[in-house]
Amino acid sequence: MAKTSARKVMATIAAASAFALVISACGSDNNSATPSSTPPTSTPAPETSAAPSSSTGTTSGSETTGGSATSGSASPSGSAIPTDDAWCDEIKAAYPDISGKSVSIYTSIVAPEDKPHIDSFVPFTDCTGVTVNYEGNKDFENQIKLRVQSGSAPDIAYIPQPGLLQTLVNDTGKVVPAPQTVIDNLAKYYDPAWAEYGSVGGKLFASPVGANVKSFVWYSPKAFATAGYKVPTTLDELKTLSDTIAATGAKPWCAGFESGTATGWPGTDWLEDFVLRTAGPDVYDQWYKHEIPFNDPKIVTALTAVGDYLQNDKYVNGGFGGPDSIATTPFGEAGLPLLTGKCWMHRQASFYAANFPAGTKVSEDGDVYAFYLPGDGTTKPVLGGGEFAAAFSDRPEVQAFQTYLSSPAWSNAKAKATPNGGWLSANKGLDTSLLANPIDKLSAEILQDPASVFRFDASDLMPSSVGAGTFWVGMTSFVRDGVDAASTLATIEASWPK
């Protein structure tokens, strides 16, 4: 592709082209070493195991061996999942003749978390002979827009916020609607709410891949047992427990909003969780869609309830100081005082497990664990997030890969490829016994619980100038400057794009 148009350039550099061609003749031996220009016509298993690493091959040799190790063990040990072969036949039937093709995928997930993803594509490659080229970048959200607009879109992108999906569909028109096979998979294996978050204008564009549960309060089971505290089951009990702990002179809560250029996002999760609990999921939907103002009285009530915790110098900030220290405490370090007894509870998502130092026992009777942030005791609202796989091409191999990603086979392969935990999906076909980490298991069970009412992180659904802008700023000044709930929300409402 680059070759022909590159010649165009060369022609313009008249004085130099002759020389360059001489050099190129000398270097032509190396062409065969370029995987992207010469895809293998047939891809037996051992070769393809190296294929996912071709995009990363020069950066890490370990991925190559990791990939082959997974593929080697996949076929015999895969017998635990009965559908293991069925999915492959289905994909092959729907998308024949795609062997030897390749699919590029672009995500925000970087090393070392990218390796399980790369490994989880191996069964797909083994089945179809399609090579998957993986690339991760932490600045994904800005880069994907540039790539799509400049005509260099990847085949598949993992989009971390539905709001970004909306932007890409609405503004660029380059996102390709999901094929029927994906629509079918979603109907079968996912809660309808997830399909809605992957849709724009009533059309499904992206299927969910990873998921996380945000309605968690981290605590130390050991410390709770020693002190005789019980895990609260309603919001009122949570308040009572907080008061009990505060009465001992200790600060029951710790929190941290600092996250570099994204400072403030943990604060948005607090408010969202409380909106779900004090106003309910219907109001929540109206709120993020801006059918009611951002500073609707019901939202003010929710933020006031948050303020009872985060603006309360008897409650926060265990191990760090007063409420204003929340703004400058890095979110990754905010929960660490749980381990030293300087703090008792820390509201943060399931993925926070990765922030505890190596050797920390994360389990129901271990050093740390999390309980579900309770509601009124009868309903069970769940706040969460996740990524969605959107396609920028309708080539059959791309659609086959999309289909694979939305199937239980991929979720299970991914779970198997993530031995250290820290990942789960909302796929109902996910075998939770494959999840390595108790907190992942708990999260998956909450997501699969029919009683749960799942709602996606509202800040990811709002226009990014609010959801990744003024909302962060507002929540940060809420804790730092002790601004009251009404004016915090009024400021954010004023910034909503007209």
By the rule CB under 8 A, 294 interacts with other proteins? no
Within residues 330-389, the interface with other proteins by CB under 8 A covers 330-333, 336, 340, 342, 349, 351-358
By the rule CB under 8 A, 419 interacts with other proteins? no
Within residues 233-262, the interface with other proteins by CB under 8 A covers 251, 257-258, 260-261
Nearest to 281 by CA among 452, 57, 131, 424: 452
By the rule CB under 8 A, 314 interacts with other proteins? no
Q: How far is Cα of residue 149 from the mean position of the Cα atoms in its chain?
A: 23
Minimum separation from the CB atom of position 336 to other proteins (A): 6
Minimum separation from the CB atom of position 154 to other proteins (A): 10
Stretch of residues binding other proteins (CB under 8 A), selected from 20-28, 90-98, 178-186, 366-374: 20-28
Task: Name the burial class of residue 184, with classes exposed (0-12), middle (13-18) and buried (19+) by CB atoms within 10 angstroms of its CB.
Answer: middle
Minimum separation from the CB atom of position 77 to other proteins (A): 28
Cβ proximity to other proteins: between 32 and 378 the closer is 32
What separation in angstroms does the CA of 371 have from each of 145, 232, 280, 363? 37, 8, 20, 11
Residue 453's DSSP bridge partners are 381
Residue with tokens 């299927």: 207
Minimum separation from the CB atom of position 234 to other proteins (A): 28
Within residues 55-94, the interface with other proteins by CB under 8 A covers 55-62
Within residues 167-206, the interface with other proteins by CB under 8 A covers 167, 169-175, 177, 200-201, 203, 205
By the rule CB under 8 A, 317 interacts with other proteins? yes
Within residues 441-470, the interface with other proteins by CB under 8 A covers 463-465, 468-469
Minimum separation from the CB atom of position 156 to other proteins (A): 15
* Per rule CB under 8 A, count of chain residues that contact other proteins: 114
Task: Please check whether residue 470 is in contact with residue 491, taking contact to mean a CB–CB distance below 8 angstroms.
Answer: yes
By the rule CB under 8 A, 39 interacts with other proteins? no
Minimum separation from the CB atom of position 291 to other proteins (A): 12
The neighbour count for residue 199, using CB atoms within 10 Å, is 20
Minimum separation from the CB atom of position 329 to other proteins (A): 8
By the rule CB under 8 A, 313 interacts with other proteins? no
DSSP code string of 11-76: HHSHHHHHHHHHHHHHHGGGGGG-TTTS--SS--HHHHHHGGGGTTTTT-SHHHHHHHHHHHHHHH
Asked if the peptide bond before residue 281 counts as cis, ω within 30 degrees of 0, the response is no
By the rule CB under 8 A, 131 interacts with other proteins? no
- Of positions 145, 239, 290, 441, contacts other proteins by CB under 8 A: 145
428-461 burial string, b = 16+ CB within 10 Å, else e? ebbeeebbebbbbbbbbebbbeeebbbbbbbbbb
Task: Name the burial class of residue 473, with classes exposed (0-12), middle (13-18) and buried (19+) by CB atoms within 10 angstroms of its CB.
Answer: middle
Cβ proximity to other proteins: between 57 and 396 the closer is 57
